[in-house]
Amino acid sequence: MSSSRTVLKPGSLLPARELTAVSGRPIAIPDPERMIHLQFRRFAGCPVCNLHLRSVVRRYDEIEAAGVREVVVFHSPAEELAEHTADLPFPLIADPGKRLYVEFGVESAPRSLLDPRVWGPIVRAVTLSAWAILRGRERGPAARPHGGRLGLPADFLIGRDGRVLAAKYGEHAYDQWSVDELLDLASHAPTPTPTREGSSSDADLT
């Protein structure tokens, strides 16, 4: 982990922004009505990303009932991402220039695939993905994915006031919050305190 990169921690205050989903829908961060679970994944068609996102889809109703909105970022172009994720129920953000990855301190590193803890999930993910591709239910990833194959995942739970409530930087390609962990974090999230008009916060992005 580079000491010079940005690392967001609980309490960091994010500037308000509006992202555009692959669908064309604007996505406001923060969301004044719900917490946002901002996931940084890898490339379009990534088997381990698909394996994880299937677990999110299976329990999507629970996540929404907990007051959490899923937003998922990939470092693939929008047109490529749309071909792989049309059936997902949450907004997807294409960031081929990795602008958001840099801002949030999300890295790429050889350990994403070399860490022994990821080898089991990779075998399972590739097996499931290959079967789905053979049955015409998925498309395979590009031979040379945009942004490379060494991306690391990251998770951020963002409060309605724009503060980071929890953050996780993955140590390998399948190191992210499980749905159970996300729901537990959401259940213990503090209620944001209204800020007086004109006041400022000393929280920053470091």
Number of independent structural domains in the chain = 1
Whether 206 maps to a domain, the answer reads: no
| Paired strand residues for 164 | 158
Q: Residue count of the chain, please give it.
A: 206
Domain span at residue 176 reads: 17-187
What is the pTM for the complete model shown?
A: 0.85
Residue 204 located in a structural domain? no
CATH number of the structural domain spanning residue 22? 3.40.30.10
Give one DSSP letter per residue of 48-63, joined into a string. HHHHHHHHHHHTHHHH
- Domain assignment present for 197: no
Q: Note whether residue 203 is domain-resident.
A: no
Q: What pLDDT shows up at residue 85?
A: 77
pLDDT recorded at residue 139: 64
pLDDT per residue of the chain (206 residues) written in tens, 0 to 9: 445 778 999 999 999 999 999 999 999 999 999 999 999 999 988 999 999 999 999 999 999 999 999 999 999 999 988 887 778 999 999 999 999 999 999 999 999 999 999 999 889 888 877 766 666 666 665 667 787 889 999 999 999 999 999 999 999 999 999 999 999 999 998 876 554 444 444 444 43
Does residue 93 lie within any of the structural domains? yes
Domain contains 111: yes
DSSP secondary structure string for all residues of 77-138: -HHHHHHH-TT-SS-EEE-TT-HHHHHHT--B-THHHHSGGGHHHHHHHHHHHHHHHHTTSS
- Residue 119 located in a structural domain: yes
Produce one character per residue of 190-201: b if its CB has 16 or more CB atoms within 10 Å, e if not: eeeeeeeeeeee
Does 11 map to a domain? Answer: no
